[in-house]
Amino acid sequence: MKRRNLLLMLSAAAMACALPAAAQQEKYQAEYRLSTVVGTAFPWGKGGEIWANLVRERTKGKINIKQYPGTSLVGGDQTREFTAIRQGVIDLAIGSTINWSPQIKQLNLFSLPWLSLDYAGMDALTQGAVGKDVFKMIEKAGVVPLAFGENGFREVTNSKHEIRKPADMKGLKFRVVGSPLFNDIFSALGANPTQMSFADAQPALASGAVDGQENPLQVFTAAKMHTLSQKYVTLWGYVADPLIFVVNKEVWESWTPADREIVRLAAIEAGKQEIALARKGLTAQDDSLVKEVAGLGVTVTKLTQDELAAFKKVVKPVYDKWALQIGSDLVKKAEAAVAASRKK
Ligand code: X2X
């Protein structure tokens, strides 16, 4: 073989070896878009920031995540977020199961009123067999789930009067989130629900177009809802609202296995930190956030077990109707997990 041919062959071989790495590198985008409904003033948005920072550090800037709060990549329409993740308009998200339930109806599970009453019950759902089933459903829908976070227990607030019993709900106009399950709950209680996005909710509360809303206390304070005429808060904790960290499937597959592991572990870590932030000031040991809300001149109402039971009784038919739509097996599994957490 002539020396020139040998050199050509050697350089071709060298190029072939170098190609996979180079091709791999080319597939990485300059920026990955992370969707959240709220910004970093909220535990949920902060969770996004923590995740993005961990990934950026640990991949040495190779995976550069930019956060888009306000669900701005879908014009604020939370109910379209999951479809946009699937289609690749959104690369990563930390989303509420409520907002994704129009696409995956089983996600309504977490919105069954008073399915779980405390954090132990919530953890039993997300960290156990139910959480695994839910991840499988998300995977089946073509999106890669990595970790759970939490928005928090959703409490009912309004501008008109204290809510202690179902009759107090009568005729009040409420902004509700994007699952028809919430329309059913509020209608059953005699209220007047209207579904709208979080972005639209704030001006609607400010103008008095609606009287009330339901969201965790962390959302109440971060969005300064006392300045939106929300003078009455009832701690009824009817829905716990977990969040899920996900990645678009094609984006996920474009990353090296080592980078995927970095992103996955960072999601788990960010999820834990985010859950701690979401629960801060809302535990038996430390209820400082409840006090903070009362300090804003808001009437904070805690319900007795009997008072709570009256609400549960009214919405029982809604629970039963939705349990069938979600799937009895999954609901039974969830109920059993919650019951077991109470025995501990
Ligand atoms: O829209 C809401 O109320 C919020 C921010 O809690 C959710 O996205 C579910």
The pLDDT score that the predictor gives to residue 29 is 97
Q: What is the mean pLDDT of residues 183-203?
A: 97
Atom of ligand 1 nearest to the CA of 96: 9
177 CA distance to ligand 1 centroid (A)?
6
Do the Cβ atoms of 218 and 290 come closer than 8 Å?
no
**Of 34, 35, 45, 36, residue with least CA distance to 218:** 45
198 CA distance to ligand 1 centroid (A)?
6
235 CA distance to ligand 1 centroid (A)?
17
**Of 149, 138, 151, 148, residue with least CA distance to 248:** 138
Which residues, other chains included, contact 68 with Cβ-Cβ below 8 Å and sequence gap of 6+? 33, 34, 35, 36, 90
The pLDDT score that the predictor gives to residue 39 is 98
β-bridge mates for residue 195, sequence order: 176
Torsion sign (Cα): 201, 205, 209, 211: positive
Share of the chain above pLDDT 70, in %: 92
180 CA distance to ligand 1 centroid (A)?
14
215 CA distance to ligand 1 centroid (A)?
7
Q: Which band of pLDDT confidence, cut at 50, 70 and 90, is reported for residue 1?
A: very low
Atom of ligand 1 nearest to the CA of 95: 8
The pLDDT score that the predictor gives to residue 16 is 46
At which residue do the structure tokens 């932030």 appear? Answer: 277
Atom of ligand 1 nearest to the CA of 175: 3
Structure tokens at 328: 């009895």
pLDDT per position as a tens digit, 219-274: 999 999 999 999 999 999 999 999 999 999 999 999 999 999 999 999 999 999 99
pLDDT per position as a tens digit, 81-99: 999 999 999 999 999 999 9
pLDDT per position as a tens digit, 20-42: 554 455 589 999 999 999 999 99
Residue count of the chain: 344
Q: What are phi and psi of 176, to 5 degrees?
A: -120, 165
Q: Probe ligand 1: pick from 177, 195, 220, max atoms within 8 Å of CB? A: 177
Report the chain's C-alpha Rg in angstroms.
23
69 CA distance to ligand 1 centroid (A)?
12
Q: Probe ligand 1: pick from 46, 71, 96, max atoms within 8 Å of CB? A: 96
231 CA distance to ligand 1 centroid (A)?
19
**Of 49, 68, 244, 66, residue with least CA distance to 146:** 244
Q: For ligand 1, atom 4, name the residue with the nearest CA.
A: 198
Q: For ligand 1, atom 8, name the residue with the nearest CA.
A: 37
pLDDT per position as a tens digit, 140-182: 999 999 999 999 999 999 999 999 999 999 999 999 999 999 9
Domains annotated on the chain, with CATH = 29-151+242-279 (3.40.190.170), 154-240+283-341 (3.40.190.170)
Ligand 1 pocket list (CB less than 6 A):
37-38, 78, 96, 98-99, 151, 177, 198, 215, 219
Pairing of strands 65-68, 32-35: parallel
Widest pairwise Cα distance in the chain: 96
pLDDT per position as a tens digit, 4-20: 555 555 554 454 444 45
Single pTM value for the model: 0.93
165 CA distance to ligand 1 centroid (A)?
24
Atom of ligand 1 nearest to the CA of 71: 8
Position 3 pLDDT exceeds 60: no
Atom of ligand 1 nearest to the CA of 241: 9
> CA 258 to CA 324: how far, in whole Å?
41
DSSP letter for each residue of 103-145: T-GGGGGGGSTTS--SHHHHHHHHSSHHHHHHHHHHHHTTEEE
